[in-house]
Amino acid sequence: RKAELHQEAAEQEELLQQAAEASERHRAAAAQLSEELRQAQKPPDAAAIAAAVEDATGPLRYQLQSLLSEVATLQRRFATEAASSEEASRESEHVRLASAEAAAAEETLALEGEVREARAHVVAAEFAEESATRAAQQRTDMLRRRCAQSHAELAAAQQDKRRMEAEYESVAKQEQLSFRALEQAEQRLQDAEENQTSELQAIRARREEAERRHSSGLRELRSESRAATAEERSLLQQSISSIANVGEDADASVLRHASPEGDTAPERTTAP
């Protein structure tokens, strides 16, 4: 309703503007005629053209007066119409304003109710949004904690992985070193076995040689021992024979010395 009132007031102002523009146009025309009349009234020769000026300015003066009369009439009509239009507009505006105020009051009450309802909805929405925000924040905090825990677990897993890789590399290096040491030990063992085999063969050869020498020495010793034994036996037999002979001689001598009384000496057996 207020918009309609403003539109009507704008239309009235436009009509007044058009009337003012028409009045200005009439005034400009009157001023132009007055200027022409003034220019026409300037006598280059007061005596010569006085009559011509009078004849020329008569119709112009009449026309100017007529125009001025029309302008005055238009101004009066404009003032009357403007006053009546303003009064009618004021009365209509007053009525319309009262009606608009009543409608505005009703609309204000309705709007206040809508505002209160909207505020209630806004409060509920804010509460719901706050609850949702708080829940989302809690969810975000929980996810952040889980993410931090996951990052920590991932870092620990990566550290364990690096440690296991380092241990694996160390074990691989140690295994490689052990394998090399085993190869070297096997090579040394093979060399030692070969050396031992060579030494055993040499020892066997030396032992066989020693056995041959020992056997030869034993045979020589046996031969020498047999010869020495035979020689000793021969010497022993010779000694025994010599001893027996000496005994017999001694016995005979004893017998000779003991037999002066004619006793017969007992018979003695000589050992061979």
CA distances from 137 to 132, 150, 217 (A): 8, 19, 112
Query: DSSP state, 260?
Result: T
pLDDT in single tens digits along all 272 residues of the chain: 555 555 665 665 676 666 667 666 766 766 666 666 566 555 445 454 455 545 555 555 565 566 566 656 666 765 676 566 666 666 666 666 667 667 656 766 776 676 577 667 666 766 776 777 787 778 878 878 887 887 888 888 788 888 888 887 887 888 788 788 888 878 888 888 888 888 888 888 888 887 888 788 778 877 877 877 777 778 878 877 777 676 566 556 656 655 554 444 444 444 33
Domain ranges across the chain = 1-104, 185-243
For the CA atoms of 224, 225, 226, 230, the dihedral, rounded to the nearest 10 degrees, stands at 100
* Closest among 5, 209, 186 to 95, alpha carbons compared: 5
- Provide the pLDDT for residue 268: 44
- Provide the pLDDT for residue 264: 46
Spacing of C-alpha 170 from chain mean position = 29
- Residue 258: which residues within 8 A CB-CB, separation 6 or more? 265
In one-letter notation, the amino acid at residue 7 is Q
CA distances from 52 to 33, 38, 59, 68 (A): 17, 14, 12, 24
Whether the CB-CB separation of 265 and 258 falls below 8 Å is answered with: yes
Q: Provide the token pair at 133.
A: 């925000």
Whether the CB-CB separation of 56 and 40 falls below 8 Å is answered with: yes
Q: What's the CA angle centered on 262, arms 261 and 266, to 5 degrees?
A: 110
- Provide the pLDDT for residue 72: 62
- Provide the pLDDT for residue 49: 47
**pTM value > 0.75:** no
